[in-house]
Amino acid sequence: MNEWLTENWLLVTVPVVVFVAFFIVALWVRGATYKALDKRLNKASWQGSQFIVQTTKTPFFHWWLILGAFVAIEISAMPSSDKELAVKILGSLLVTSLTWVAITLTERLLRFYMGKIEIPLPSIGLTVNVVRIAVIVVGVLVLLDIWGAPTTPIILVLATVILVVVIATRNTILNLFSGFELMSGNLLNVGDYIKLESGEEGYIEDIAWVNTKIKTLGGNIILVPNGKFTQTTVTNYGRPLKKATKPFHFYTRLHLKELTGLKASNIAELARILNEVPDSVVYYHTHHFLEEHQYLTPEPANDFALWISDAIGDEALAEKLASIDIFEFPNIGALRTRLVSVINEYLSTNPNSRVAPEGREFHFIKSTSVILPTAYVANDLREFIQVLRGITIDSLYFHVFESRLRLQKGTNDFSTWLQECLGEDDLANKIAKLDPYNYTLEGLRSAIIQLIEKRIK
């Protein structure tokens, strides 16, 4: 033996050196690979990355050792029959390791993600066992193929068994897949009110893997197979909304302009007449631009500021009047007082006797409105949104602007109804705080709808 080793030491030393080299390289490669992998997975922020690292780190080193052993055997002086046996053993070890890693990794991922979508524990266990059996079967078939055992009959038997099981349980399988889709896709949720094309309707009590429990308005329980949801039309009305104690009736109005016969030729006359005219006159001259030019935002200056600037040429006073925030005033009377006060205070320190050119006097116009009911009524927030999307800007203007100032409510009709008839104080306050003078009418409509949609989601 010593004599043989002396003559053939290279035949023994080289395979050993190769295997040791693979051992050393495996340590370095594993460190470098998993360091780079950790960095990449951290950037991706994938929650499942920790399972990949934990499950494959040790087997990765074993795979390199198996590869090293394979190379060492191939370059060794072992007889061909022994090499073939050794390669089969190494292949079997590799397949066994890969099968174990696949089972462990899929089990961890399935339990993690199925747990996040709140699937019942028995269903998670069933899914994990099915996947585990499938992986084991594949691993066994590969091992049998490595050792030259006939796998075709086994595959045929398995295929026949699977086909028979699928045919026998096709409805159950359809229900299982449909249940998984319902629970993972958030298409339906517990508490939603649904109606099937076949006539069943009610509130969803529970969504299980095989069927969904529905409670009718009469208190009866209906079990609907989940597969039925993929074969029929389902209307989801969402969660039930609170009904208002009184429905909201939408109104609109026709707007008529009428000359009062009053006119001012200078700033002093403007202040004096403005202090005496009806509220409808003040309202017209501070609001008519909102409808006639509703696409402009913010709103143009009031007529008084425009006339003083254009006809009198007093830019300083015009700017003071234009800067008055109409939204601050709860009614027309308060707005009129502010306008007159600004003009008189300015004249007390900056006398202005300029007269408007002939034909450019300020003519006072009053606004006359005819209020008309519409056919639209809302009993809850969802109905309210549907109607609000379709009403005219005249109706929107009436319920926001006219109710607030001309009717001296201090707020809009929408907020009043939300607070008094639905108890939606927070939503009512949010809509009331919207400055309608900083929106176009369509922009205001969208802002109100967004607030309500956010509330009912």
What pLDDT sits at residue 324?
Answer: 82
* 183, containing H or E segment: helix 170-185
What pLDDT sits at residue 293?
Answer: 47
Both 294 and 429 in a single domain?
Answer: yes
CATH number of the CATH domain containing 225: 2.30.30.60
Both 181 and 315 in a single domain?
Answer: no
**Which among 126, 143, 167 is the end of a domain?**
167
What pLDDT sits at residue 249?
Answer: 93
Both 204 and 258 in a single domain?
Answer: no
Q: Which two tokens mark 173? A: 């399988």
What pLDDT sits at residue 385?
Answer: 84
In a domain, 243, yes or no: no
Q: Which domain holds residue 376?
A: 248-456
Both 232 and 276 in a single domain?
Answer: no
Closest alpha carbon to 365 in 303, 407, 308: 303
**Which among 167, 182, 216 is the end of a domain?**
167
Both 205 and 270 in a single domain?
Answer: no
Both 373 and 225 in a single domain?
Answer: no
Closest alpha carbon to 375 in 390, 362, 361: 390
- 48 C-beta neighbours (distance < 10 Å), count: 12
* Spans of the chain below 70 pLDDT: 1-12, 41-49, 113-126, 151-187, 209-210, 217-219, 230-231, 239-240, 289-301, 327, 405-410, 457
**Which among 136, 167, 198 is the end of a domain?**
167
Both 197 and 97 in a single domain?
Answer: no
Closest alpha carbon to 406 in 371, 443, 444: 371
What pLDDT sits at residue 418?
Answer: 92
What pLDDT sits at residue 296?
Answer: 44
Both 144 and 181 in a single domain?
Answer: no
Closest alpha carbon to 408 in 332, 327, 328: 332
Q: Which two tokens mark 317? A: 């006073």
One-character DSSP codes across 26-88:
HHHHHHHHHHHHHHHHHHHT-TTHHHHHHHHHHHHHHHHHHHHHHHHHHHS---HHHHHHHHH
Size (the chain), residues:
457
Strand partners, 283: none
Q: Which positions ≥6 away from 59 have C-beta within 8 Å? A: 97, 98, 100, 101
Handedness of CA 148, 153, 156, 162 (dihedral sign): negative
In a domain, 242, yes or no: no
In a domain, 16, yes or no: yes
Q: Residue 175 and residue 451: Cα distance in Å, rounded?
A: 38
Both 163 and 178 in a single domain?
Answer: no
One-character DSSP codes across 254-269:
EEEEEEEEEEESSHHH
Both 404 and 429 in a single domain?
Answer: yes
Measured N-to-C along each axis, helices 49-75 and 9-44 cross at an angle, to the nearest 10 degrees, of 160
Q: Which positions ≥6 away from 235 have C-beta within 8 Å? A: 194, 195, 196
> In 120-151, which ranges are continuous DSSP H helix?
121-146
pTM of the predicted protein model: 0.44
* 154, containing H or E segment: helix 152-168
Both 149 and 210 in a single domain?
Answer: no
Domain count along the chain: 3
In a domain, 241, yes or no: no
What pLDDT sits at residue 340?
Answer: 92
Q: Residue 109 and residue 88: Cα distance in Å, rounded?
A: 31
3-state secondary structure of 205: strand
What pLDDT sits at residue 181?
Answer: 62
What pLDDT sits at residue 159?
Answer: 64
What pLDDT sits at residue 213?
Answer: 85
Give phi and psi for 198, each to the nearest 5. Answer: -80, -5
Both 129 and 192 in a single domain?
Answer: no
